[in-house]
Amino acid sequence: MTGEAPAWALTPTQVAADIEIASRQRLFIGGRFVTPRSRRHRDVVAPATGMTLTRLTDASGADVDAAITAATAAQRGWTRSARLTPLLRLADRIERDPTLAILATRETGRPIRAATGVDTPLAARITRFNAGWADKLSHLVRGGNAPRSAGVVVVLVSGHAALLRVLWAVTPALAAGCPCVVKPSPHATLACLRLAEIARGADLPPGVLNVVTGGVKTGEALMTHAGARLIVISGRHATCRRACQGAAARTSPVVAEPRTPLTHVVFEDAALDQAVEAIVAGPEASPLASAGLGIRLLVQEPVREEVTARLLDRLRARRVGDPLDANTDIGPLPATHHAVAIDDMLESVRTAGGVVRTGGDPTVPRPDGGGHWCPPHLVTDVPAPDALAHAEAGGPFWFMDTFRTTAEATTLAGDARALAVWSDKSARLFAVTETLAATTVWANTLPQIDPAAAGMAGVRRFLR
Amino acid sequence: MPVPPIDAALLRREAESYEARAVVEPARTRGLRLVLSLIDLTTLEGGDTTQYVRALCRWARAPGPGVGLPPVAAVCVYPVFVATARAALIGSPVRVASVAGAFPAGQSPIDVRAAEVAAAVSAGADEIDFVINRGVFLAGRRRQVREEIRVLCHAAGAATVKVILETGELGDADVIREACDLVLDAASSARGAMTDGAVFLKTSTGKIAIGATMPSTLVLIAAIRDHVRATGVRVGLKPAGGIRTPDQALAYLVMVRETLGESWLRPELLRFGASSLARSIVATITRSEVPS
């Protein structure tokens, strides 16, 4: 490298994001924002600045009861003929609403470029696809008898890609005729509260969609409420398992959608440059598949050096910085406890002899203040099974292990639920996909979750 | 190791991610000044005259007089105008580039092509832009293409060579990549110990409908990067044909910076082949710098 290279770097930008955020958030119950009964609340800290953004209520048993009561009352009026139009209208409103992206960016640190370019269009697509079930339900069952809805649904969603996960559960439920009570993670509520407001504007009847806020206790109150007919929980593997174990003590069934790390299997004959590009763009471009966790890579031995070099090249160009900058690829870590989990994980990786290399464009300034910034890391020489556990710590981490044969690849990737395979040979793609237990497999493409791919499975669970 | 295949759909997606970058002031003006200093100001018309070439060279030395803009990197002309350009550019850092070797098709006997290259060099050209013979390449006669490149590189002597692939005629990304590797291989063997920036890969002649595109340029970039990794020698890049607007050029600048790196952002390793781009950049910069 010569020192005389002309310096040229992008100038920081800032997307206009001055939207008013109330200092105290209320609950959305029965079609309006209500003052909570609970006196307990917590601060929401903006990850980019470390400053308090707003305050949330920790909804109490009484608040939860009010929400479930409102939902139960709305059931009767939420008839099949009443559902389609407001749900389609909701999709249109989501598509045109810039504040959903801005709120997610300010509250969770999701880069605005991804929030606007990926999340909002996908949110609209999920809503529109599921809205379409509303007038087609009788075609879902043999015999033509219209199925009945399951009743009030409680939706609990963790912080990463919260809005998308909420819509993923809520829109098929609403189309099936189930009123919903949603409790997003306390780290990602603002976009969901805004969603409720948009739903009201789209003429969803009062009580059909309710949003309460709070932490674990509020979640427990919702899950144990007698009025909850079905519980959908979308979060980390451990959280889902806990919820399912507790389900034995309750009457209502639990649908768990665990967030698991994405695994890429790269064969030597793959289009390496494009595979690397998709692997690196993952967290930004495919929020649902990458799940806000670290990404695991299984690379065939002969291309190990190639892939490592290419990955490092691309990771070095990633821009870590202000999430409101239109050019930012990687924002701050979402919450303080993630930083601790990541330190612990790195510690155990290094103890086990793993090699850690960092990327990130050094010319990109980081905002001052209390944000936690983490450049992208490539971790090599960690055994694949360990990588799965390490990836649970979250953050911009890529864990690489190698394999020699197709059989080795399938063994190592065997426990992966979300899997992307890269090979130019279709025989290899089929061999891997047929032997795995993965629920979703992508072949030679960006791992994007498409509502249409979920098909009827999404709506069926909300019918009796 | 054989070259991995290229996925065209994902290639387009990658190109779009560079296009989507927001280039705001002051990076925008700085970037445009940089692009200006990287332009091979080109005129390759049947109606070119010595008067016109002289006027172009005057402009190339000091684009948009009075606003302190840098000169362009080179003026690119047909061989008959090399002497004119050489004389008009004496005392300036602007280099003289010439297309030669039966531009733009390359469909002439190889000794005729080589003679034209040698003539352009002896008339004073610092740089030679020559095409590969696509007819021969697409017919699968790789050895002949390699040999022709070797002969033309020899004929160019010490001049910088920019090898034009005409990506728009090659079609598939995989075919473009194969041509890149063939050119780099042939040029390396012809030039012995190759130095940084002695050879450029150039996308297009500008004479057919499809000129440079971001995805096809990405294929050249990948070939250059892999060559550097294997040999340590840095090869230049010249997207040409169809880059007309300042915003298009900035997107290329972003792409090169994020792929090959910042050290490529200098005339020794990056050029833009363009005829109207320079003037629209000057117009844009002068407009934004006019005091209000």
pLDDT for the residue numbered A250: 64
Q: What HEC string does B161-180 produce? A: EEEECCHHHHCCHHHHHHHH
Q: Pull the structure tokens for residue B236.
A: 């230049």
Q: How many whole angstroms separate alpha carbon B40 and alpha carbon B38?
A: 7
Residue B291 has pLDDT above 60, yes or no: no
- Average of pLDDT values for A184-195? 94
Which residues, at least 6 apart from A446, have a Cβ–Cβ distance to it below 8 Å? A278, A281, A282, A285, A286, B10, B13
Q: Please indicate if any CB of chain A lies within 8 Å of the CB of B12.
A: no
pLDDT for the residue numbered B186: 94
Question: Are A332 and A322 spatial neighbours (Cβ–Cβ below 8 Å)?
Answer: no
Residue B10 has pLDDT above 50, yes or no: yes
pLDDT digits (tens, 9 = 90+) for A76-103: 999 988 999 999 999 999 999 999 999 9
pLDDT digits (tens, 9 = 90+) for A261-282: 899 999 999 999 999 999 999 8
Q: Give how far B178 is from chain A: nearest CA, Å.
A: 14
Chain A residues near residue B27 by CB distance under 8 angstroms = 8-11
pLDDT for the residue numbered A130: 95
Residues of B with catalytic roles = 129, 202, 238
pLDDT for the residue numbered A5: 42
pLDDT digits (tens, 9 = 90+) for B25-53: 899 999 999 999 999 999 999 999 999 99
The percent of residues in chain B predicted with pLDDT above 70, rounded, is: 97
Are residues B266 and A4, on separate chains, in Cβ contact within 8 Å?
A: yes
Q: Residues in chain A, how many?
A: 464
Are residues A444 and B7, on separate chains, in Cβ contact within 8 Å?
A: yes
Q: How many whole angstroms separate alpha carbon B192 and alpha carbon B213?
A: 31
Question: Are A295 and A391 spatial neighbours (Cβ–Cβ below 8 Å)?
Answer: yes
- Average of pLDDT values for A48-55? 90
Chain B residues near residue A302 by CB distance under 8 angstroms = 1
Residue B290 has pLDDT above 60, yes or no: no
Are residues A8 and B10, on separate chains, in Cβ contact within 8 Å?
A: no
Q: Give how far A351 is from chain B: nearest CA, Å.
A: 31
Write the burial class of residue A26 (CB in 10 Å: 0-12 exposed, 13-18 middle, 19+ buried).
middle
Rg (CA), chain B: 18
Q: How many whole angstroms separate alpha carbon B250 and alpha carbon B49?
A: 32
> ipTM of the assembly?
0.87
- Average of pLDDT values for B196-203? 95
Residue B264 has pLDDT above 90, yes or no: yes
- Average of pLDDT values for B95-120? 96
Could you tell me the sign of the dihedral formed by the alpha carbons of A289, A293, A298, A303, in that order?
A: positive
Chain A residues near residue B32 by CB distance under 8 angstroms = none
Q: Which candidate in A1, A2, A4, A8 is best for mutational testing of the B interface (most B CBs within 10 A)?
A: A8
pLDDT for the residue numbered A290: 85
Q: How many whole angstroms separate alpha carbon B69 and alpha carbon B83?
A: 26
Query: Which of B4, B26, B27 lies closest to A271 in CB terms?
Result: B4
* Residue of chain A nearest B250, judged by CA positions: A10
Q: Please indicate if any CB of chain A lies within 8 Å of the CB of B242.
A: no
pLDDT for the residue numbered A365: 83
Residue A375 has pLDDT above 90, yes or no: yes
Q: Please indicate if any CB of chain A lies within 8 Å of the CB of B17.
A: yes
Q: Give how far B49 is from chain A: nearest CA, Å.
A: 35
- Average of pLDDT values for A285-294? 87
More confident residue, A260 or A182: A182
pLDDT for the residue numbered A459: 85
Distance from first CA to last CA of chain A, Å, rounded? 67
Residue A381 region by backbone torsions, left for phi larger than 0, else alpha for psi between -120 and 50, else beta: left
Q: Pull the structure tokens for residue A93.
A: 């409103």
Are residues B14 and A277, on separate chains, in Cβ contact within 8 Å?
A: yes
Q: Give how far A109 is from chain B: nearest CA, Å.
A: 19
Q: Pull the structure tokens for residue B173.
A: 């990304």
Q: What HEC string does chain B produce? A: CCCCCCCHHHHHHHHHHHHCCCCCCCHHHHHHHHHHCCEEEECCCCCCCHHHHHHHHHHHHCCCCCCCCCCCCEEEECHHHHHHHHHHCCCCCCEEEEECCCCCCCCCCHHHHHHHHHHHHHCCCCEEEEECCHHHHHCCCHHHHHHHHHHHHHHHCCCEEEEECCHHHHCCHHHHHHHHHHHHHHHHHHHCCCCCCCEEEECCCCCCCCCCCHHHHHHHHHHHHHHHHHHCCCCEEECECCCCCHHHHHHHHHHHHHHCCHHHCCCCCECEEECCHHHHHHHHHHHHHCCC
Q: Give how far A175 is from chain B: nearest CA, Å.
A: 34
Q: Give how far A3 is from chain B: nearest CA, Å.
A: 8
β-pair partners for B139: none
Question: Are A237 and A258 spatial neighbours (Cβ–Cβ below 8 Å)?
Answer: yes
- Average of pLDDT values for A164-170? 94
DSSP-H helix ranges across A206-360: 216-223, 237-247, 272-285, 287-290, 304-316, 336-351
Cβ count near A243 (within 10 Å): 22
Are residues B7 and A317, on separate chains, in Cβ contact within 8 Å?
A: no
Question: Are A346 and A364 spatial neighbours (Cβ–Cβ below 8 Å)?
Answer: no
> Which stretches of chain A sit within 8 Å of chain B by CB?
1-2, 4-11, 13, 113, 117, 269-274, 277-278, 281, 302-303, 306, 309, 313, 317, 326-327, 424, 444-446
Mean pLDDT of chain A: 89
Q: How many whole angstroms separate alpha carbon A7 and alpha carbon A120?
A: 35
Q: Please indicate if any CB of chain A lies within 8 Å of the CB of B263.
A: yes
* Residue of chain B nearest A303, judged by CA positions: B1
Distance from first CA to last CA of chain B, Å, rounded? 59
Query: Which of A5, A273, A277 lies closest to B266 in CB terms?
Result: A5
Which residues, at least 6 apart from A205, have a Cβ–Cβ distance to it below 8 Å? A31, A74, A77, A78, A82, A86
Q: Please indicate if any CB of chain A lies within 8 Å of the CB of B29.
A: no
- Average of pLDDT values for A40-64? 92
Are residues A6 and B6, on separate chains, in Cβ contact within 8 Å?
A: no
**Amino acid letter at A330?**
I
- Edge-first strand order for the sheet with A440-443 is A355-358, A377-380, A397-403, A295-300, A262-266, A418-422, A440-443
Question: Are B40 and B72 spatial neighbours (Cβ–Cβ below 8 Å)?
Answer: yes
Chain B residues near residue A11 by CB distance under 8 angstroms = 23-28
For tokens 């000169």, the residue is B71
Chain B residues near residue A313 by CB distance under 8 angstroms = 225, 259
β-pair partners for B96: B75
Are residues B10 and A269, on separate chains, in Cβ contact within 8 Å?
A: no
Query: Which of B4, B17, B263 lies closest to A272 in CB terms?
Result: B4
pLDDT for the residue numbered B292: 40
β-pair partners for A184: A157
Q: Give how far A318 is from chain B: nearest CA, Å.
A: 8
Q: How many whole angstroms separate alpha carbon B245 and alpha carbon B276?
A: 8
Chain B residues near residue A10 by CB distance under 8 angstroms = 21-24, 27, 254
Q: Pull the structure tokens for residue A69.
A: 């009561």
Q: Please indicate if any CB of chain A lies within 8 Å of the CB of B23.
A: yes
Query: Which of B21, B229, B263 lies closest to A10 in CB terms?
Result: B21
